[in-house]
Amino acid sequence: MSSPVDVAWAVHKFGGSSLADAACFERVAHIIESQPEPAVGVVLSACKGVTDQLLGLVSLAEEPDGDFRAQLAQLRLRHESLAQTLLSASAAVDYLARLERELADIEGVLQAVRLTRSASRQVLDLVAGFGEIWSSRLFAAYLAHRQKRSGAVRWLDAREVVVVEWGPLGPRVDWDASALRLKTALGTDSHPGTLAITGFIAADPRGVPTTLGRNGSDFSASIFGALLEAVAIHIWTDVDGVLSADPRRVPDAQVIDALSYNEAMELAYFGAKVIHPQTMAPAVGREIPIWIRNTFAPDHPATLICAKPSSELAVKGITSIENIALINLEGAGMIGVPGTAHRLFGALREEGISVILISQGSSEHSICCAVPKEQSERAVRVLREAFARELQDGQIQAVETDPELAILAVVGDGMAGMPGVAAKVFGALGNAAVNVRAIAQGASERNISVVVPARAATRALRAVHASFYLSAHTLSVGVIGPGTVGRVLLEQLASQRQRLLSEFKLDLRVRGISSSRQMLLSERGVALDSWREEFDRSAQPADLEAFAAHVGVDYLPHRVIIDCTASGEVAAHYADWLAQGIHIVTPNKKANSGNLGDYRALRESRSTGGTHYLYEATVGAGLPVIQTLRDLQQTGDEIHSIEGIFSGTLAYLFNVYDGTRAFSAIVREAKDLGYTEPDPRDDLSGMDVARKLIILGREMGLSLELDDVAIESLVPADLVSSSIEEFLARLPEYDQAIQARHEAARSRGRVLRYVGRLTANGEARVGVEEFDAQHAFANIALTDNVVRFATSRYNSNPLIVQGPGAGPAVTAGGIFADLLRLSAYLGARL
């Protein structure tokens, strides 16, 4: 097949959304006028919605009382308005005269349908094709009227050129006949200019009008690209090229720079909005590059589909097919028996059931395949009939179906021969707590397909998309307790959020903030620079169950609740949240130091939900106390004892207290500075230090309860049950006792410190002790924690971790560090 004329052609196709109104026609004309090629073929769909209206006319004609004339009038009015807006008066008269004749022809056909109450395939094709005739003829007249492009503008009715014959695989083009007709249509003009071509429609060998089926206008563009031996085909639509995922489900999906034909076909097969594989075939066979562009943003990035694309991306896109069912045929009698697969797929073929994916283990014990959900019950019935004897004899144990599934496909030529791609896919799915039901991968390694639960499909899509850095790793974050520490944490998150997003593609999206009485929920994320105003304006009554459900939405791959409270009520929910797939980050000591049985159940719930539980800030605020303990144990060191000043609050009190000011005044000062718990008695009672010893002891493997810790409390017995206000008001009554202890220690050249001690055999005690002025515990900064690890390795010279152990900023920083650590566990590249 030779080119009709010796000239470089480019073919541009515009879909219905690009031709919605007069402004759209003007935009398309401007695009065509800016093209550098001397010869341009413009394939046009019907104006947006017109094809559906035309098919609706036929449906109305088949109904006894269907008023198709009113719909015809609407079509007339719409095209009349376009012509009067776009064309000169004389050109509009000519266009509308032909429109009236064709509308009369349609009405005559519909009258015949009304009489028979049935429309044939030929009638549907005839009527449906008028939309392209009207839009392309209008565009040809409009472009000629503008006179901004050199060369003539001609209208070409594709029914006069393209000859197709429908078969089992769709329309088959008669290339020789079509090429001859195009040559005749173009004539001998060596400067063909611009062709405005009807998309979607063609003719059969007898000359009867027909259509090219689904995505017919794209097919038309590919056909004319091949017939004209075009240098390129441009498909203009309403999106910027081909996206790496469905933007409705992955909002930060990006435009793919270049795809091979095979990659485009794989993505299209699995539901991506790419040119349909069948429609690409003419261009593929002649290696004509195809560009996917945005009519409404012609200068935006586009996607090139060609034989040998140049792209640095190993994975080009992640897409999915919804409403899938998995059919499983299982039985020991299948092992080593030839023909089982042939019988299975033959039975499904005879019933006209489409098989989308096939998976079989090497043991041959089972075969499963994915089919459309609506065909699943029929598929099970057919297979039970086909294998009735084997089922009866027990050679096959079951034919089962799971109808609530989806297929996730990861596509990219660059995956071939690259180790670790599958590991990254399954690692991302595992981190997102998505169960994989079946797996399929072709020998080309271009596609990895997995079957996942339908309810987890969006979460799976986002997790895998992010794992290949095609989009940000998104964590749905909920913060409970926006008080002293929580408020500072939100400030820290606000200051770093944009940097983490731009440098590491990490999206820490705070979608909920809850106090004890109210909560603020946001679907797209709370604006952290103004969260207080939004909280005051839009908060609703607090409900921990509803809060967790909101943060733990299925469509975001990773979910975390950060508990900044000291509440036992909140901590009691941890096990359920972890089991539900929600990660926990917290400085709250209640869960890890509570009832030992509850603690063990909490640890077990992490395995159930495949989740992470991070609590470094429970012991040393921002200090790496727990991590140091774990590192020592995991590298084989033996812990003999742990001792230290574990309370930044008590460290501050005994550092500042020198007898010149009342101890009670320093307690109140520490509370005002945010160094104490909301109720200072939680610190002064020694319970906070005791809980830290319990946490460390349990990390060591000790079965400790709070009752096992000998605690010296600094809270007077008759103030234990009073309100916080009464406690602070009456505490000065007891200043003398602590002053006496201070004076006694000073007389011996010693200082008072509140310390905790824990041994490997489980002895634990906390209380006030005296230390020489040269001791490490006597020489610390105001709020320092200092922890000494005596181990087999660090025996004569214990390992010391020291630094600020109290204050909102360092505690929030410790929580933030745990959050980033969690992000890294989940695949973020930090």
Q: Is the pLDDT of residue 1 over 60?
A: no
- Residue 2: pLDDT band (50, 70, 90) is very low
Q: Is the pLDDT of residue 247 over 90?
A: no
Q: Is the pLDDT of residue 277 over 90?
A: no
630-648 pLDDT, tens digit per residue, is: 999 999 999 999 999 998 8
43 sits in which H/E element: strand 39-44
The Cα–Cα gap between 197 and 199 comes to 6
Q: Which residues contact 73 (CB under 8 A, 6 or more apart)?
A: none
Give the pLDDT mean for 550-569: 92
SS3 819: helix
Q: Which residues contact 822 (CB under 8 A, 6 or more apart)?
A: 475, 560, 583, 585, 612, 614
Other C-beta atoms lying within 10 Å of the C-beta of residue 701? 9
The Cα–Cα gap between 266 and 261 comes to 9
Give the pLDDT mean for 12-36: 95
Active site residue 671: no
Q: Which residues contact 389 (CB under 8 A, 6 or more apart)?
A: none
Question: Which residue in 239, 163, 167 sits closest to 205, CA to CA?
Answer: 163
273-282, 524-533, 564-573, 616-625: least confident range: 273-282
Q: pTM of the prediction?
A: 0.71
Q: Of the listed 13, 373, 590, 692, which one is catalytic?
A: 692
Cα→Cα distances 442→228, 409, 816, Å: 35, 12, 43
688-746 pLDDT, tens digit per residue, is: 899 999 999 999 999 999 999 999 999 999 999 999 999 999 999 999 999 999 999 99
Q: What is the pLDDT of residue 5?
A: 52
Give the pLDDT mean for 642-658: 92
Question: Which residue in 643, 661, 592 sits closest to 800, CA to CA?
Answer: 643
First to last CA, the chain: 56
Q: Which residues contact 151 (CB under 8 A, 6 or more apart)?
A: 38, 39, 191, 192, 193, 194
716-732 pLDDT, tens digit per residue, is: 999 999 999 999 999 99
Q: What is the pLDDT of residue 364?
A: 67
Give the pLDDT mean for 291-300: 93
For residue 709, which phi and psi values (nearest 5 degrees)? -100, 125
Per cent of the chain over pLDDT 90 is 71
